[in-house]
Structure 1
Amino acid sequence: MTSRDPGRKTLPIAEPGDVRRATVRLVRADAKAFTAALVLNSLAAIAGLASPWLVGRIIDEVRAGHGTTAVDRLALAILVAAAAELLLARWARYVGHRFGERTLARVREEFVDRTLALPANVVERAGTGDLTARGTADVALVGTTLRDAGPELLINSVQAVFLLGAVITLDPLLGLCGVLGFGGIWWALRWYLRRARAGYLAEGAATSDVAEILAATASGARTVEALRLEKRRVMAGRDALETSRRTRFHTLFLRTVFFPAVDVSYLVPVATVLLVGGVLLERGALSLGSVVAAALYVQRLSEPLDEILMRVEQLQSSGASFARVEGLARAPRATETDAPAPADDLIEVTGVRYAYDRGREVLSDVDLTVRPGERLAVVGPSGAGKTTLSRLLAGVDAPTAGSVTVGGVPVVALGPEQLRRQVVLVTQEHHVFLGTVRDNLKIAEPSATDEELWAALAAVGADTWVRDLPDGLDTPLGDGGGRTDGSQAQQLALARVVLADPHTLILDEATALLDPTTARHTERALAAVLQGRTVIAIAHRLHTAHDADRVAVMENGRLTELGTHDDLVAADGAYAALWRSWHGERPV
């Protein structure tokens, strides 16, 4: 049983070709460092070739009966070559690690830029767990590969090429024997690579599911407890963990088959070279020193190959992670468009229908005109479509049919900056960012002065408690700083809206977490500050509707009533029933 929600859209995964192109792009971005690392690794590999050849020369010198002077010189040359190899290899690792850190910084910056460019509806439908897993575990694994596996793979690949070339140079037949002897590794590697990418992608997706379920359960803990959904959430978590366990065991199985096969295969080429070399030695085709040198080269070849294969295994895991990180490039982007500027602030909803993916239609034939500067309240029972309408008005989602325009331009056609100046949606969800109170407010308007910040706080009734903080606007908030309750966090969010100063403000039950007195004060303060601007309030407290210019009543995805509070009460329809129910202090 899988824990993945069939109605939830996952973020894209990059194709192997996309990953290769991204890798080339990252290398080109720091080509000088990559070239320097390649050159230094090549020099270190050349220095490493000297020792086996010199050992062979020593054997030949001793067999020829030459004096110890020649042997001493050759031994000294071995020490010099070893020292040169050590210094060059350390220098190469230093350059490679610096290249890896700079490249990782580029990957992180690209990930943040792409994440911020995602439309809100894409993030919501994918779930925060997937995005969180990609931005933490996947990026961290890519970083480890760039910092450690990348340089090591480069070093050992160069060494393997030079060692194999050295064997072929000594004797082509021995070189061929060495290559054929590693055939077992080739077949084991092919078997592994065919299965590894899919296995690690499945493991990453399962990790995202676990993160998503944990995040959703933690954020909705009160709702889970109130509705007694603990067992259901625990079962969902267990299902996700079981799927994650199975995917991890699958990749573990791949490794337990691959690495033992490789370990056994290392013995074959050394034995083959010694056997064939012995035959050639008997026939006088090779000296004993050359056979020993060839065997040492092949034996030493197992070290870089072992490292390469270890890194190949890591590359499969990190390659899958990189595909998930790079996959954001394939996601829709909320970019600026060539849409014309709206002619005015008139909002028109014409024949709008909307249905969520694989779900029933939640809005049907909605027609609504919101005049500039009007205060409109949208009311109705839970599930009537109020929130969905607010999302369409704010350009978060596009209607399935019909149109939502501002000044004659479709709202969804406006780019992020243009849209923010036209319409801002404030929901019950809010966030306090790490930083000071000033930092939290200046997100909306970086150039705002302290006087403007205090005015925005006063507009939403938050100036009193902010002045009581130890350092006022400079008081840190979040972990390690000042703590804010739900109403204070929501007031900060509303203060940001005041600073953004859009012509249309949509409040989707934005004051739901405030106590009635504070909520009423905040709404009146906003009305005063935004006078002359359009305010659309999705409300469940009907005093909001009482203060509005007009009231729109939603029922079963349709707009059933539209008029002033007094007119709708006099009409004795659905709104009148809601009003009597609320006024009598019974649940709406």
Structure 2
Amino acid sequence: MKGTDPGVASATLRTASGREATRWVAAHCRQIPWLTAATALTTVAGAALQVLPLLLLGRVVDGVVAEESRSVLVTVGGLMVAAALLGAAATALSTYLIGRLGADLLARLREGAVRAVLGMPSARVEQVGRGDVLSRVGDDVAILSKGIRTAVPTVFSAGVLVTIATVGMFGLDWRLGLAGAAALPAYALALRWYLPRSTPLYRQQRMAQADRAQALISGLNGIDTVRAYRLEDAVREEVTRASWRVRDLGVEVFRFFGRFVGRENRAEFIGLVLIVVVGYALLEADAASLGEVSAAPLVFHRLFTPLGAIMFTFDEAQKSGASLTRLVGVVKEPAADRLVGHASLAPADAGPQPVTVRGLTFRYPDTEQPVLREVDLTIPAGGSLALVGATGAGKSTLAALVAGIGTPQRGSVRVGPYDLAELDEAGARALVSILTQETHVFSGTLADDLRLAAPEASEARLLAALRTVGADGWVDLLPDGLHTLVGEGGARLDGTKVAQLALAKLTLNDSPVVVLDESTAEAGSEGAAGLERAVRAACVGRTALFVAHRLTQAMAADRIAVLDAGRVVEEGTHDELVALGGQYARLWRAWREGG
């Protein structure tokens, strides 16, 4: 059985807790002990050397008051200069090592997250929405990368410096140390007020950004369908609503952070006033030297810079923390939801297989109304069926279920003798290939890209597949033919050529059933006719289901099914449905008038 049941699995990818994310970071730090240890040691050394000149300054003041020899003062001054130089060098090295450590952790996390996403069944990806997936492996990685370069080194180094400076104040005089430490409860109260409220707020912001990405992706992917059915205003409203949500949360985050800054300034004022008052009292009682009393405010003031750095980068650190929990959550997705199994079927020997859909009802998680209701369809072996209907009618959901992506709550999808619900994803992929408009050309040679569909294919077979879909002409003009680099850094291919490559890979695949979900939508009208011929050629000898965004594609199918609100309301040939004068006939008239 498949590992993911959309009826019970979470409708979003998992988000780890802060403790779980911390454990992940600690576990990976233990795998690189020398880099971790060097980072910690240089950070502590840099912080200590930055505080030492301030403590020595108190020694200079006491030396002047006691009229010590000039050589002693020069020696102390030299030590101050040396400490400052060594502190700067140690701090620079610490910043570099923190960046190296962070980059190593980010690389491991990004690799794990991408591997987890690639290993998920297609049903899981469709279930959570591609916007959520892309925002995690895209936006969250970018935010965490920026945080590792800026906020994380600053917060870590500043935190160590605050600790060392606090210890230094106690080293001057325990009473001065207590006076400075009295400000810590005010800092702690500010953080205690801020942290529990800000973390959920940042997560809401990241989720809102994922929703906006999903709205944009859905609208752009189905742009031709949106235009054909006059749904531009509805899509625009959805994108606008998602964008306003992101904006409102951004304003709320900024306002909330401003209140946190006010609480931090209050804590600084409390600490400085207490140190000055206690220092004056100790000096009047002759319980402390002038040097100690003079150095204490300077050491406490030295805390302002790191505390201010923490405060003003905490916003970025919180964003990084929220992205970290989302990425670790992807890595920690339950193993049962990963792609398992091997294709043990031999569909190529069996020839085309019929597709039978009976009583199919499907509902997405966290929704009350089914997307599909009691759908019955049959596609004879070697035949073709086109699905048409307005956006939201359930076409893509039905196509995904026929491709084995997802499991219906009721009913069944059978390919020949096989019930897809009883197969793992590898078995389903052996029976059904799906091609959507989200086609990609991977970086490498053209032959390597094609062999993703048939790793053992000879060059002759690759060229035959290209010839089938009409791509051999422009491939022959490439400088190195099949060995030409394509994708990122390679030859640029327009939408029509990319669609032809996707169809060539479909031709190389041996599955007896193919599902095409608006697979030529991105090619544009210029190459539409040629691509429709290529689609028909790629589907020869196989059972085909089309989600038609152009009604000319529907005309070419053996039969057409019209979906409305998750139900099949009409079914027949093009001529039969036009003669019927129903919903398809109205769509056909609108299509001809719009064209």
TM-score, length basis structure 1:
0.81
Secondary structure, in 3 states, of the residue corresponding to 1:266? helix
Q: Contact (CA 8 Å) 1:460, 1:526: kept in 2 or not?
A: no
Unaligned runs of 5+ in 2: 1-9, 590-595
Which residue of structure 2 aligns with residue 107 of structure 1?
Answer: 109
Q: C-alpha separation between the residues in 2 aligned to 1:20 and 1:438?
A: 43
User: Residue type of the partner of 1:491?
Assistant: Q
Q: C-alpha separation between the residues in 1 aligned to 2:219 and 2:398?
A: 27
Deviation per residue, 1:360-396 (Å, 9 max, x gap): 46252748697xxx41333576489776554333211
Q: Contact (CA 8 Å) 2:54, 2:298: kept in 1 or not?
A: yes
- Over aligned residue pairs, what C-alpha RMSD do you find? 3.8
Secondary structure, in 3 states, of the residue corresponding to 2:506? helix
Shift of 1:161: 1.4
Return 405-414 or 29-38, whichever deviates more.
405-414
Which residue of structure 2 aligns with residue 523 of structure 1?
Answer: 536
Residues 1:377 and 2:380 aligned together: no
Q: How does 1:189-268 map to 2 (within 5 A)?
A: 189-268=191-270
| Equivalent of 2:459 in 450, 457, 470 | 450
Cα 1:362/1:207, change in 2 over 3 Å = closer
Cα 1:365/1:228, change in 2 over 3 Å = closer
Secondary structure, in 3 states, of the residue corresponding to 2:408? coil
Cα 1:535/1:79, change in 2 over 3 Å = same
Cα 1:410/1:256, change in 2 over 3 Å = same
Q: Contact (CA 8 Å) 1:376, 1:552: kept in 2 or not?
A: no
User: Residue type of the partner of 2:218?
Assistant: A
Q: C-alpha separation between the residues in 2 aligned to 1:576 and 1:41?
A: 74
Shift of 1:351: 4.9
Residues 1:42 and 2:44 aligned together: yes
User: Residue type of the partner of 2:145?
Assistant: G
Shift of 1:199: 1.7
Which residue of structure 1 aligns with residue 432 of structure 2?
Answer: 423
Q: C-alpha separation between the residues in 1 aligned to 2:509 and 2:153?
A: 47
Which residue of structure 1 aligns with residue 139 of structure 2?
Answer: 137
| Equivalent of 1:578 in 576, 580, 584 | 576
| Equivalent of 1:91 in 90, 93, 99 | 93
| Equivalent of 2:150 in 148, 151, 157 | 148
Q: How does 1:296-307 map to 2 (within 5 A)?
A: 296-307=298-309
Return 267-276 or 518-527, whichever deviates more.
518-527
Which residue of structure 2 aligns with residue 464 of structure 1?
Answer: 473
Secondary structure, in 3 states, of the residue corresponding to 2:434? strand
Q: Quote the sequence identity (%).
A: 29
Which residue of structure 1 aligns with residue 160 of structure 2?
Answer: 158
Which residue of structure 2 aligns with residue 335 of structure 1?
Answer: 338
Shift of 1:257: 1.2
Q: C-alpha separation between the residues in 1 aligned to 2:395 and 2:301?
A: 73
Shift of 1:518: 6.4
Q: C-alpha separation between the residues in 2 aligned to 1:248 and 1:473?
A: 49
Which residue of structure 2 aligns with residue 354 of structure 1?
Answer: 361
Shift of 1:348: 7.6
Q: Contact (CA 8 Å) 2:465, 2:505: kept in 1 or not?
A: yes
Q: C-alpha separation between the residues in 2 aligned to 1:208 and 1:72?
A: 61
Q: C-alpha separation between the residues in 2 aligned to 1:176 and 1:206?
A: 45
Return 249-258 or 350-359, whichever deviates more.
350-359
User: Residue type of the partner of 1:356?
Assistant: R
Which residue of structure 1 aligns with residue 511 of structure 2?
Answer: 502
Cα 1:388/1:222, change in 2 over 3 Å = closer
Deviation per residue, 1:66-125 (Å, 9 max, x gap): 221111111111111112211211121121111122222222222322222233333334
The structure showing larger relative contact order (alpha-carbon pairs under 8 Å, at least 6 residues apart) is 2
Unaligned runs of 5+ in 1: 1-7, 546-550, 562-572
Which residue of structure 1 aligns with residue 410 of structure 2?
Answer: 401
Which residue of structure 1 aligns with residue 35 of structure 2?
Answer: 33
Residues 1:535 and 2:533 aligned together: no
Which residue of structure 1 aligns with residue 500 of structure 2?
Answer: 491
User: Residue type of the partner of 2:290?
Assistant: L
Q: C-alpha separation between the residues in 2 aligned to 1:331 and 1:9?
A: 13
Q: How does 1:285-300 map to 2 (within 5 A)?
A: 285-300=287-302
Shift of 1:422: 3.5
Cα 1:382/1:172, change in 2 over 3 Å = same
Secondary structure, in 3 states, of the residue corresponding to 2:199? helix
Cα 1:80/1:274, change in 2 over 3 Å = same
Deviation per residue, 1:411-447 (Å, 9 max, x gap): 3554444443333123465444555533431332344
User: Residue type of the partner of 2:360?
Assistant: R
Q: Contact (CA 8 Å) 1:56, 1:289: kept in 2 or not?
A: yes
Q: C-alpha separation between the residues in 2 aligned to 1:59 and 1:525?
A: 88
Shift of 1:478: 6.2
Deviation per residue, 1:235-254 (Å, 9 max, x gap): 33333332222111111111
Q: Contact (CA 8 Å) 2:42, 2:91: kept in 1 or not?
A: yes
Cα 1:457/1:59, change in 2 over 3 Å = same
Q: Contact (CA 8 Å) 1:352, 1:367: kept in 2 or not?
A: no
Q: C-alpha separation between the residues in 1 aligned to 2:377 and 2:129?
A: 31
Q: C-alpha separation between the residues in 1 aligned to 2:300 and 2:182?
A: 12
Q: C-alpha separation between the residues in 1 aligned to 2:147 and 2:432?
A: 43
Q: Contact (CA 8 Å) 1:40, 1:89: kept in 2 or not?
A: yes
Q: C-alpha separation between the residues in 2 aligned to 1:554 and 1:228?
A: 17
Cα 1:576/1:317, change in 2 over 3 Å = closer
Q: Contact (CA 8 Å) 2:124, 2:337: kept in 1 or not?
A: no
Q: C-alpha separation between the residues in 2 aligned to 1:68 and 1:368?
A: 102
Cα 1:369/1:251, change in 2 over 3 Å = closer
